[in-house]
Amino acid sequence: MSDIGSAKVRLYVEQPLGQGQSVPLTRDQAHYLFSVMRMGVGDAVLAFDGTSGEWLARVAEAGKRAGTLVCESQTRPLQMPPDLWLLFAPIKKARTDFIVEKAAELGAARICPVQTAFTNAERIRQDRLQAHAVEAAEQCGGTYVPEVCNLQKLDTVLANWPKGRRLMFCDEALVGAGRSLGDAPRGPWAILIGPEGGFSGAERDRLRALPFAHPVSLGPRVLRADTAAVAALTVWQQALGDWT
């Protein structure tokens, strides 16, 4: 029989996990475990559901289109990320996928695509992006999967901004200006990354006027949108997140 050290796969499941819990596999999960990974009855899997931590489970039934796991013991408790949202303007498909994956790995609790004046994309595949967040959590050892929201207009998001949440506004107009978070307080935050064409003048004026917004610079060079997302998450985590 396998043990935790020989578990080759981490799997996100939507059913709550617990001691002795039976977990039915989806068709795609069964195909991956039994056809791709060549696993069989008795093999170990590390499973997590986003709320119950990580569990050692074993394959109880294995078929081409279905299967069942049974939970044995909890291996790790739930580790929640900081209360941090990432707001970003969607770009080309592969690079949008990259932003979602890295946001999940770097500890964003919620990922929110927003449409700005210069955003090229008018729609997204929310289900596909959510699947990328799941895959990132499976691969990086996370026990929590961030929600990926549907595309919303930036104006709408700002008009309904929740009280008490601060906004780290990454302003490309501040390149080289040395503007950082400084002694900003901890608590609920969001990061806003603009599109490839930058923010419009009206958007920048509105953002700078918001009492909860903190304009920052991401260094002396203009970054691509996907690079900026990774850089901003890193800056915030080191200053105010769970890296300190």
Q: Which two tokens stand for residue 174?
A: 């501040």
Q: What is the pLDDT of residue 1?
A: 43
Q: What is the pLDDT of residue 43?
A: 95
Confidence of residue 2 (pLDDT cuts 50, 70, 90): very low
- pLDDT tens track for 19-50: 999 999 999 999 999 999 999 999 999 999 99
Q: Are 166 and 187 in contact (CB under 8 A)?
A: yes
Burial category of 173 from C-beta neighbours within 10 Å (exposed 0-12, middle 13-18, buried 19 and up): middle
Angle at 135 between CA 38 and CA 40, to 5 degrees: 15
Q: What is the pLDDT of residue 179?
A: 66
Confidence of residue 174 (pLDDT cuts 50, 70, 90): confident
SS3 64: coil
pLDDT of 3 > 80? The answer is no
If phi over 0 gives left and psi between -120 and 50 gives alpha, with beta otherwise, what is residue 52?
alpha
**Residues facing residue 85 across a β-bridge:** 110, 190
User: 244 vs 240, which has greater pLDDT?
Assistant: 240
pLDDT of 183 > 50? The answer is yes
Q: Which two tokens stand for residue 3?
A: 């043990």
> Residues 6 or more apart from 201 whose CB is under 8 A from it?
none
Average pLDDT over residues 213-231: 92
E-assigned strand segments in 63-179: 67-76, 84-88, 110-115, 147-148, 152-153, 166-170
Closest to 73 (Cα-Cα) out of 8, 22, 20: 20
**2-6, 93-97, 156-160, 197-201: least confident range:** 2-6
Average pLDDT over residues 195-200: 89
Confidence of residue 178 (pLDDT cuts 50, 70, 90): low
Give the span between the Cα atoms of 133 and 136, in whole angstroms.
5
pLDDT of 126 > 60? The answer is yes
pLDDT of 167 > 50? The answer is yes
Closest to 102 (Cα-Cα) out of 240, 231, 239: 231
**Residues facing residue 22 across a β-bridge:** 70
Residue 60 one-letter amino acid: A
